[in-house]
Structure 1
Amino acid sequence: MNNKKKIPNATMKRLPLYYRFFKNSEKSGVDRVSSREISEALDIDSATIRRDFSYFGELGRKGYGYNVKSLLKFFMEHIQGNQKRNVAIIGAGNLGSALLNYKFSNINDRMNIVAAFDNNSSIVGTTINDTTVHHSDEIEKMAEDHGIDVAILTLPAEVSQEMAERLEAAGIKGILNFTPMRLDVSDGIYVHNIDLSVELQALFFYMKHI
């Protein structure tokens, strides 16, 4: 990967879309694709696709397009990495349960949901889609025992900061934050915020200006 160029956040957000496209293309037996075909499938203009790929060197050839197997291997090795990420869902209520039932393997076969945590006695001890819900008091021990380095946070906002501090102390390196709180953590941990209310407002704005 070319580390000399700073990759824009907008490009980083599109990378999972590209990965899924090439994964589906491989499953369909497609050998190579053009930027136009990627553009039509993902509704991203061809110039943007070529610019996104340019951050990682020469991934395709003019007049030939992109080799599906080569690009899929590239995404797996240089973007996803060879390491399998062990993930925990913190909060197994409505949203947490929905995420546990989601087939994450369809979008990322290097992500392994190893546990879920909650402090609701009616949920603790249950199994959701083959994942056991443990009490929140066990987070630190299980993070160490199972090598958990990513957490998906679906807790009430008022307890999210305290939990983020516990997760950081337990060695978690990345948090996907579904709460509306902006978490205060050190530079050694990456937080990606997903605020559904903001996303909906953005959707309404774009619909209004179509």
Structure 2
Amino acid sequence: MTSKKIPRATAKRLPIYYRYLNILLDANKHRVSSTELSQAVQVDSATIRRDFSYFGELGKRGYGYDVEDLLNFFKEILNQDKLTNAALIGVGNLGHALLNFNFHKNSNVRISAAFDVNDSIINTVQSGVPIYSVDDLDQQLRDQQIDVVILSVPSETAQAVTDQIVKVGVRGILNFTPLRLGVPKDVRVQNVDLTNELQTLIYFIDHYNANDEQA
């Protein structure tokens, strides 16, 4: 397995490829071409071949790619054999929806703990996940060795919570708040701004034709 860095855009597409390869294997399909992959995942075939080229020779000219071999390769690349525990901070409406989403079924991530300030749900189990008080945040993150957090707290508390969990050792944050968080360089943040995505979608609907390229 290669250890060299690949472009961020390529890294973001790897889970998409992995998910579709699982679908192909479940359908008992043993071989796939870059053109077939392109049609399924809506990424042009030249980009797919370039993405795969970062990892060496994964396919054969005139044959395509062996589905099971390619799936096993990306399974190792994406550490799908290693279960990653994540914590959810903020169990409001969005937090409850995230708890109900079966991350473990679709990836190697499992929400193993959730935290909130609402006394009515603290010390309960929601969707199979124990809910702790935020007062227990530091201790539970350490005890469970959690270094990935899903953040769905109010914007006004997001930075303070982020500062707290970074001190504990969290290295990755999936941020569902509109706030752009300040973190050290060794901490990764992925921002998921649903309002922004919806506004962007509406803009493209209003200003682009369906066949226009959207940069």
State the TM-score bracket (shorter-chain normalisation).
Answer: over 0.9
Which structure 2 segments of 5+ residues have no match? 210-215
The aligned counterpart of 1:117 is 115
Look up the SS of the partner of 2:22 in the other structure: helix
Which structure 1 segments of 5+ residues have no match? none
Corresponding residue to 2:184 among 157, 172, 186: 186
Identity of aligned residues (%): 47
RMSD of aligned Cα (Å): 1.5
The aligned counterpart of 1:86 is 85
Q: How far apart in 1 are the matches of 2:202 and 2:162?
A: 31
Q: How far apart in 2 are the matches of 1:88 and 1:49?
A: 33
Q: How far apart in 1 are the matches of 2:123 and 2:116?
A: 10
The aligned counterpart of 1:160 is 158
Q: Which stretch shows the higher mean deviation, 91-100 or 70-79?
A: 70-79
The aligned counterpart of 1:22 is 21
Task: Rate the CA distance shift 1:39–1:106 in 2: closer, same or farther, 3 A.
Answer: farther
Deviation at 1:199, TM superposition (A): 1.1
User: What amino acid is aligned across from residue 64 of structure 1 in structure 2?
Assistant: Y
Deviation at 1:115, TM superposition (A): 0.6
Q: Deviations over 1:108-127 (max 9, x none)?
A: 0x212101110111221222
Q: Deviations over 1:51-73 (max 9, x none)?
A: 12122222111111111111111
Deviation at 1:8, TM superposition (A): 2.5
The aligned counterpart of 1:140 is 138
User: What amino acid is aligned across from residue 31 of structure 2 in structure 1?
Assistant: R
The aligned counterpart of 1:60 is 59
Look up the SS of the partner of 2:201 in the other structure: helix
User: TM-score, structure 2 length as denominator?
Assistant: 0.91
Look up the SS of the partner of 1:38 in the other structure: helix
Q: Deviations over 1:30-49 (max 9, x none)?
A: 21211111111112211111
Q: Deviations over 1:173-209 (max 9, x none)?
A: 1000011111111122111111112211221122220
Look up the SS of the partner of 2:85 in the other structure: strand
Q: Which stretch shows the higher mean deviation, 88-97 or 23-32?
A: 23-32
Look up the SS of the partner of 2:78 in the other structure: helix
Q: Deviations over 1:125-177 (max 9, x none)?
A: 22221111111111111111111110000000110111111111111110000
User: TM-score, structure 1 length as denominator?
Assistant: 0.93
Q: How far apart in 2 are the matches of 1:194 and 1:80?
A: 23
Q: Deviations over 1:59-98 (max 9, x none)?
A: 1111111111111111111223643211011101111110
Look up the SS of the partner of 1:92 in the other structure: coil
